[in-house]
């Protein structure tokens, strides 16, 4: 057969790397070289100390303008990006663009062109459509770097990186670790980014634990082992990552009730005992206490949930400085 | 006016003809193939040496966007594009705005096509008023106005009693029914095949069962009603199998696929390429191979353009926010010929898929080069190698994922009822 494939556009990994291998955009963890991930983690490490200084600023992005372009509401992610940019001495512009404004005639490209005209250097983009960050990266002026702060159900790569950063701080070597991700994998961009990051870093085993209605088709092809029984899935794991369960999942007949979910997939102290004794508990936030995680676990000694938030600043500083650094 | 097309390789699958010979046209009809008719004097002689003379193509599924979506295309712009691609007959679907559910709307479409003069346009009317799936349309009146069939997409309510009645009523009027087999609630909001690629990309997906569940219901209704039924745009291996079995059971069903389904798979969207956003979605390589097998063994009888022209903005958005569809008229013949070139189909098969077979299903008297037939003819240069360039498309919609694809064989003249409507 002589099918000549058409020339596909740049694949995600190619779109975000320069020819010399440095980061041009940060859109998705998938396809990035392991060394790039390690560089991000190491750079983030060097920024952790900045938090402790009395003057919490370094001048790496002085004179640069970073635009938080949020087409979908978010407090936590936007705030940590803003703090990260400010600690790098950048000017920050926050634009919360209600989705309704763009559906009222102004296309995403129109919005983009308008903001480009404000002489910006970096767009931090959150959008409800999968692929939005790639779309923007493909169409922005060449001097602008795009960071994906969450696109639909596709990717949330800075969250994925801060999670592996937190794991590395506590556990070190990934090749010996078993990590379980529990809950609504189907709708989770965070889970997808975590899975890619963990696999690129050669994690011994990545598990997903959920009923079939909350797992996407062929999820095992992402490189995970599937468990429907939480008690089985938690056995001997070093890291338990709980995902947020949105209430509308019940309305869409994906789950019978919050009560049943908590009973079979909620993380309680009793269930946590099935994991390794020194296992850490993570959650990308905001947690639904009593739905996917019991309060005493979220606030318990094994929880590193708040640490994740502060690590988010260092990791985002690292990624921003690497993307901009390559540009200078 | 009499025209002699001389020394071309005349390929007419319906009549089993494939030979270098002459074809004689008097006014709008073919009067002979082979021997010169008595008293024939050509006013014009077309030298077709080294060229193929095939029936004008019959496209069983195109959206011409009129009325209501003229910013995407008009009957004039799209039939002109069709003529340039060797297509002389087009069946258009009723899902315009408003839907083609009244004799007046049918008349409007036919009038626009006649005024443009590039191709025959045959209307598949709406099976229910406003395509809402609730009240039957005036099917007998639609037929009287020239509708070749009636069509319906499955609606949220999916009322089986209405569908059953519509099929019974259509059958009693001698109308073929056309269905896009897609179960509404399984497909709603989806934009990619449910599988590893959609999972990776985080795209809301459409499972195989959206097609097979709909086919199961519809085939049961065909068994009940006996209505002649055509399934539009199959996309799955299992769906193709269900149609194959139904045909073996002797049910009056037929099916087509969009030409792009024989060449593209879910892999083609893996870089968020919105030009490959189609409905039904591109599926797996296994599905694509099975659809090709279906074409080869005859259980899928028709290859159609599934033409859906769009303005540029419709594709300039994040993948899920783009509108589905490919501007397909101008790649229909190239892709059909490619199936032969790639040894999937014989030349005769490849040509019949886009000529005589769709004509038979539509019940229109064209798609062959027999004596007495309308002189709807496509002449092409089989050796001309070229690259498809979407910038030079004549369709108002340039949304083709085949930009840059190499093809062999190019249309050099299209004749509609004896008149040349396109010349390269």
pLDDT digits (tens, 9 = 90+) for A201-231: 999 999 999 999 999 999 999 999 999 999 9
Per the domain annotation, does A128 fall within a domain?
yes
Catalytic residue check, B306: yes
Per the domain annotation, does A6 fall within a domain?
no
| For residue A81, pLDDT beyond 70 | yes
Query: How many angstroms separate the first and last alpha carbons of chain B?
Result: 22
Task: Indicate yes or no: CB of A131 within 8 angstroms of CB of B343.
Answer: no
| For residue A6, pLDDT beyond 50 | no
Torsion-angle region of B401 (φ positive above 0: left; ψ -120 to 50: alpha; else: beta)? alpha
Edge-first strand listing for the sheet containing A205-209: A225-227, A205-209, A178-182, A239-242, A280-282
Per the domain annotation, does A190 fall within a domain?
yes
Pick one of 3.30.70.260, 2.30.40.10, 3.40.47.10, 1.10.3470.10 as the CATH number of B2-53+373-423: 2.30.40.10
Task: Indicate yes or no: CB of A131 within 8 angstroms of CB of B401.
Answer: no
B382 touches chain A (CB under 8 A): no
Q: Mind listing the pLDDT tens digit for each residue in A108-137?
A: 888 888 888 888 999 999 999 999 999 999
A24 touches chain B (CB under 8 A): no
- Shared domain for A22 and A71, answered yes or no, is yes
Cβ density class B236-252: b for 16+ within 10 Å, e for less: bbebbbbbbebbeeebe
Instruction: Identify the CATH number of the domain in which residue A206 sits.
Output: 3.40.50.1370
pLDDT at B193: 98
Longest pairwise C-alpha distance within chain A: 67
Model confidence at B359, pLDDT cuts 50, 70, 90, reads very high
Quick one: tokens of B389?
A: 């360039």
Task: Indicate yes or no: CB of A135 within 8 angstroms of CB of B319.
Answer: yes
Chain B positions touching A7 (Cβ under 8 A) are: 404
Q: Are B167 and B227 in contact (CB under 8 A)?
A: yes
Give the structural domain span for A255: 157-302
B313 touches chain A (CB under 8 A): yes
Task: Classify domain B54-362 at the CATH topology level.
Answer: TIM Barrel (3.20.20)
Among B185, B176, B188, B189, residue whose Cα is nearest residue B232: B176
Omega prior to B67 cis, within 30 of 0: yes
pLDDT at B204: 96
Model confidence at A328, pLDDT cuts 50, 70, 90, reads very low
Chain A positions touching B343 (Cβ under 8 A) are: 1
Per the domain annotation, does A124 fall within a domain?
yes
pLDDT at A103: 55
ipTM, two decimals: 0.91
| For residue B220, pLDDT beyond 70 | yes
Residues facing A148 on adjacent strands: A125
Q: A97: distance to nearest CA of chain B, Å?
A: 16
- Shared domain for A297 and A318, answered yes or no, is no
- Shared domain for A126 and A211, answered yes or no, is no
| For residue B352, pLDDT beyond 60 | yes
Mean pLDDT of all residues in B314-343? 96
Mean pLDDT estimate for chain A: 90
- Shared domain for A222 and A103, answered yes or no, is no
Mean pLDDT estimate for chain B: 96
Closest CB to B263: pick one of A3, A108, A153. Answer: A3
Per the domain annotation, does A279 fall within a domain?
yes
Q: Mind listing the pLDDT tens digit for each residue in B115-158?
A: 999 999 999 999 999 999 899 999 999 999 999 999 988 877 66
Per the domain annotation, does A7 fall within a domain?
no
Per the domain annotation, does A3 fall within a domain?
no
Model confidence at A99, pLDDT cuts 50, 70, 90, reads low
- Shared domain for A106 and A189, answered yes or no, is no
Residues facing B422 on adjacent strands: B414
Mean pLDDT of all residues in B409-420? 97
**A299 three-state secondary structure:** coil
Task: Indicate yes or no: CB of A30 within 8 angstroms of CB of B200.
Answer: yes
B296 touches chain A (CB under 8 A): no
- Shared domain for A175 and A262, answered yes or no, is yes
Per the domain annotation, does A211 fall within a domain?
yes
Of all residues in chain A, the one with the smallest CA distance to B204 is A153
Q: B387: distance to nearest CA of chain A, Å?
A: 11
Q: Where are the domains of chain B?
A: 2-53+373-423, 54-362
Q: Any idea which of A63-77, A279-293, B50-64, B66-80 has the lowest mean pLDDT? A: A63-77
Closest CB to B318: pick one of A10, A127, A217. Answer: A127
Cα–Cα dist B192/B22, whole Å: 49
- Shared domain for A150 and A175, answered yes or no, is no
pTM over 0.90: yes
Cα–Cα dist B285/B282, whole Å: 9
pLDDT at A13: 65
Q: How many domains does chain A have?
A: 2
Mean pLDDT of all residues in A91-109? 73
What is the Cβ-side half-sphere exposure of residue B418, based on CA atoms within 13 angstroms? 18
| For residue A7, pLDDT beyond 70 | no
């Amino acid at each position: 057969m002589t099918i000549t494939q058409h020339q596909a556009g740049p694949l995600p990994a190619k779109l975000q790397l320069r020819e010399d291998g440095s980061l041009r955009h940060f859109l998705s963890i998938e396809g990035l070289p392991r060394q790039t991930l390690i560089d991000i983690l190491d750079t983030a490490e060097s920024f952790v100390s900045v938090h402790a200084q009395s003057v919490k600023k370094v001048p790496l992005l002085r004179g640069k303008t970073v635009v938080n372009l949020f087409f979908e509401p978010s407090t936590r992610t936007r705030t940590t990006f803003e703090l990260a940019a400010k600690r790098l001495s950048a000017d920050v512009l926050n634009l919360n663009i209600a989705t309704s404004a763009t559906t009222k005639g102004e296309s995403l490209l129109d919005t983009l062109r308008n903001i480009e005209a404000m002489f910006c250097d970096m767009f931090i983009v959150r959008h409800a459509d999968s692929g939005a960050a790639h779309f923007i990266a493909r169409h922005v002026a060449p001097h602008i770097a795009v960071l994906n702060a969450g696109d639909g159900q596709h990717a949330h790569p800075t969250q994925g990186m801060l999670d592996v950063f937190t794991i590395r701080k506590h556990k070190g070597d990934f090749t010996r670790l078993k990590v379980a991700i529990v809950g609504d994998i189907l709708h989770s961009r965070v889970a997808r980014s975590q899975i890619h990051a963990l696999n690129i870093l050669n994690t011994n085993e990545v598990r997903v634990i959920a009923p079939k209605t909350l797992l996407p088709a062929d999820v095992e092809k992402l490189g995970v082992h599937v468990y429907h029984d939480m008690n089985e899935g938690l056995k001997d794991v070093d890291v338990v990552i709980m995902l947020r369960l949105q209430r509308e999942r019940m309305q869409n007949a994906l789950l019978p009730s919050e009560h049943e979910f908590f009973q079979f997939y909620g993380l309680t102290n009793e269930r946590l005992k099935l994991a390794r004794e020194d296992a850490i508990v993570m959650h990308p936030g905001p947690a639904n206490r009593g739905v996917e995680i019991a309060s005493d676990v979220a606030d318990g000694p094994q929880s590193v949930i708040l640490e994740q938030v502060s690590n988010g600043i260092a990791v985002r500083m690292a990624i921003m400085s690497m993307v901009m650094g390559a540009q200078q | 006016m009499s025209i002699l097309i001389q020394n071309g390789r005349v390929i007419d699958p319906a009549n089993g003809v494939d030979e270098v010979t002459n074809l004689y046209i008097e006014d709008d009809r073919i009067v002979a193939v082979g021997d010169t008719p008595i008293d024939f004097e050509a006013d014009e002689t077309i030298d077709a040496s080294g060229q193929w003379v095939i029936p004008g193509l019959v496209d069983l599924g195109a959206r011409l966007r009129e009325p209501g979506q003229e910013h995407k295309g008009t009957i004039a712009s799209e039939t002109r594009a069709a003529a340039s691609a060797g297509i002389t007959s087009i069946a258009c679907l009723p899902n315009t705005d408003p839907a083609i559910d009244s004799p007046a709307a049918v008349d409007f479409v036919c009038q626009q096509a006649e005024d443009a003069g590039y191709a025959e346009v045959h209307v598949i009317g709406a099976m229910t008023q406003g395509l809402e799936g609730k009240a039957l349309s005036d099917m007998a009146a639609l037929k009287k106005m020239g509708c070749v069939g009636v069509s319906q997409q499955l609606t949220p309510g999916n009322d089986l009693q209405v569908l059953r009645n519509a099929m019974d009523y259509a059958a009693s009027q001698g109308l073929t029914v056309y269905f896009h087999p897609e179960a509404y609630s399984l497909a709603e909001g989806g934009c990619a095949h449910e599988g590893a690629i959609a999972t990776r990309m985080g795209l809301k997906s459409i499972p195989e069962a959206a097609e097979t569940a709909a086919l199961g219901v519809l085939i049961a209704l065909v068994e009940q009603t006996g209505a002649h039924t055509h399934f539009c745009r199959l996309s799955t291996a299992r769906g193709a199998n269900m149609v194959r079995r139904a045909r073996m059971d002797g049910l009056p069903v037929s099916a087509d696929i969009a030409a792009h389904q024989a060449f593209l798979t879910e892999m083609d969207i893996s870089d968020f390429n919105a030009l490959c956003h189609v409905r039904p979605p591109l599926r797996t390589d296994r599905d694509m191979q099975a659809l090709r097998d279906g074409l080869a063994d005859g259980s899928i009888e028709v290859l159609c353009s599934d033409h859906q022209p769009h303005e540029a903005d419709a594709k300039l958005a994040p993948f899920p926010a783009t509108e589905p569809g490919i501007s397909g008229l101008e790649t229909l013949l190239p892709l059909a010929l490619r199936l032969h070139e790639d040894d999937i189909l014989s030349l005769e098969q490849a040509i019949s898929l886009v000529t005589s077979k769709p004509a038979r299903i539509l019940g229109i008297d064209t798609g062959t080069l027999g004596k007495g037939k309308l002189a709807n003819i496509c002449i092409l240069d089989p050796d001309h190698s070229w690259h498809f360039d979407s910038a030079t498309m004549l369709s108002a919609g340039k949304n083709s994922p085949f930009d840059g694809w190499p093809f062999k064989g190019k249309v050099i003249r299209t004749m509609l009822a004896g008149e040349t409507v396109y010349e390269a």
